[in-house]
Amino acid sequence: MKGTFAVLWSLRAELHTGRLEVLHDRLELRARGRTLSIPIGSVVRCSIDRDPGARIRGLPVLRLDLADGTVARIASLESVTVLNDLAGVLAGPVPAEAL
Protein backbone atom coordinates (compact mmCIF):
# COMPACT_ATOMS: atom_id res chain seq x y z
CA MET A 1 0.00 0.00 0.00
CA LYS A 2 1.48 3.29 -1.08
CA GLY A 3 -0.15 6.65 -1.31
CA THR A 4 -1.12 9.83 0.44
CA PHE A 5 -4.30 10.22 2.47
CA ALA A 6 -6.07 13.11 4.20
CA VAL A 7 -6.13 12.47 7.96
CA LEU A 8 -6.55 13.86 11.42
CA TRP A 9 -3.82 12.66 13.75
CA SER A 10 -2.92 13.11 17.36
CA LEU A 11 0.23 12.69 19.35
CA ARG A 12 0.53 13.56 23.04
CA ALA A 13 -2.95 15.16 23.06
CA GLU A 14 -2.10 17.53 20.17
CA LEU A 15 -4.54 17.23 17.25
CA HIS A 16 -3.34 17.92 13.71
CA THR A 17 -5.06 18.05 10.33
CA GLY A 18 -2.87 16.93 7.48
CA ARG A 19 -1.87 13.96 5.45
CA LEU A 20 -0.45 10.50 5.86
CA GLU A 21 2.06 9.24 3.35
CA VAL A 22 2.78 5.52 3.28
CA LEU A 23 6.35 4.81 2.22
CA HIS A 24 8.29 1.58 1.92
CA ASP A 25 9.80 1.65 5.42
CA ARG A 26 7.82 4.32 7.29
CA LEU A 27 4.69 6.36 7.70
CA GLU A 28 4.95 10.12 7.45
CA LEU A 29 2.33 12.29 9.09
CA ARG A 30 2.43 15.92 7.99
CA ALA A 31 0.58 18.98 9.18
CA ARG A 32 1.27 22.67 9.04
CA GLY A 33 4.65 23.11 10.70
CA ARG A 34 4.85 19.51 11.93
CA THR A 35 6.13 16.23 10.48
CA LEU A 36 6.22 12.90 12.25
CA SER A 37 8.07 9.97 10.69
CA ILE A 38 7.18 6.56 12.10
CA PRO A 39 9.43 3.66 11.05
CA ILE A 40 7.19 0.64 10.41
CA GLY A 41 9.49 -1.48 12.58
CA SER A 42 8.77 0.78 15.58
CA VAL A 43 5.06 -0.10 15.62
CA VAL A 44 4.65 -2.78 18.28
CA ARG A 45 0.85 -2.89 18.16
CA CYS A 46 -1.89 -1.41 16.03
CA SER A 47 -5.64 -1.52 16.43
CA ILE A 48 -8.72 0.19 15.08
CA ASP A 49 -10.66 1.85 17.90
CA ARG A 50 -14.33 2.58 17.36
CA ASP A 51 -15.31 3.32 20.97
CA PRO A 52 -16.86 6.79 21.38
CA GLY A 53 -14.11 7.92 23.77
CA ALA A 54 -11.33 6.89 21.40
CA ARG A 55 -12.65 8.57 18.27
CA ILE A 56 -11.29 11.78 16.78
CA ARG A 57 -14.16 14.11 15.86
CA GLY A 58 -16.47 11.11 15.71
CA LEU A 59 -14.24 9.11 13.36
CA PRO A 60 -12.75 5.70 14.18
CA VAL A 61 -9.00 5.78 14.73
CA LEU A 62 -6.02 3.61 13.99
CA ARG A 63 -4.06 3.46 17.23
CA LEU A 64 -0.32 2.89 16.87
CA ASP A 65 1.61 1.83 19.97
CA LEU A 66 5.26 2.57 19.32
CA ALA A 67 8.32 0.90 20.81
CA ASP A 68 9.23 4.00 22.85
CA GLY A 69 5.80 4.02 24.55
CA THR A 70 4.35 6.79 22.40
CA VAL A 71 0.81 6.39 21.08
CA ALA A 72 -0.15 7.93 17.74
CA ARG A 73 -3.81 8.01 16.67
CA ILE A 74 -4.94 8.48 13.07
CA ALA A 75 -8.44 9.11 11.69
CA SER A 76 -9.04 9.02 7.95
CA LEU A 77 -10.92 11.90 6.34
CA GLU A 78 -11.42 9.71 3.27
CA SER A 79 -12.66 6.28 4.34
CA VAL A 80 -12.39 3.76 7.17
CA THR A 81 -11.09 1.39 4.46
CA VAL A 82 -7.82 3.35 4.58
CA LEU A 83 -7.46 2.41 8.27
CA ASN A 84 -8.19 -1.25 7.56
CA ASP A 85 -5.67 -1.38 4.72
CA LEU A 86 -3.04 0.38 6.80
CA ALA A 87 -3.59 -1.98 9.74
CA GLY A 88 -3.06 -4.88 7.34
CA VAL A 89 0.22 -3.42 6.12
CA LEU A 90 1.45 -2.85 9.68
CA ALA A 91 0.45 -6.34 10.80
CA GLY A 92 2.64 -7.78 8.04
CA PRO A 93 2.56 -11.31 6.72
CA VAL A 94 1.76 -14.17 9.07
CA PRO A 95 4.86 -16.36 9.58
CA ALA A 96 4.44 -19.90 8.18
CA GLU A 97 5.16 -21.45 11.61
CA ALA A 98 2.17 -19.59 13.06
CA LEU A 99 -0.28 -21.25 10.64
Whether 43 is covered by a domain: the verdict is yes
Q: What is the pLDDT of residue 7?
A: 96
- Please give the Cα distance from 59 to 23 (Å, whole number): 24
Strand order of the β-sheet with 61-66 is 34-39, 26-31, 14-22, 3-11, 71-76, 61-66, 43-49
Each residue of 71-93: pLDDT tens digit? 999 999 998 788 988 888 887 65
The domain in which residue 59 lies consists of: 3-92
For the segment 53-74, the average pLDDT, to the nearest whole number, is: 94
Report the CATH number that the domain containing residue 34 is assigned in CATH. Answer: 2.30.29.30
Alpha helices in 1-99 (DSSP H): 80-91
Rg of the chain in Å (alpha carbons) = 13
The number of domains in the chain is 1
Q: What is the pLDDT of residue 91?
A: 77
Whether 97 is covered by a domain: the verdict is no
Residue 21 has pLDDT above 60, yes or no: yes
Q: Which amino acid is at 65?
A: D
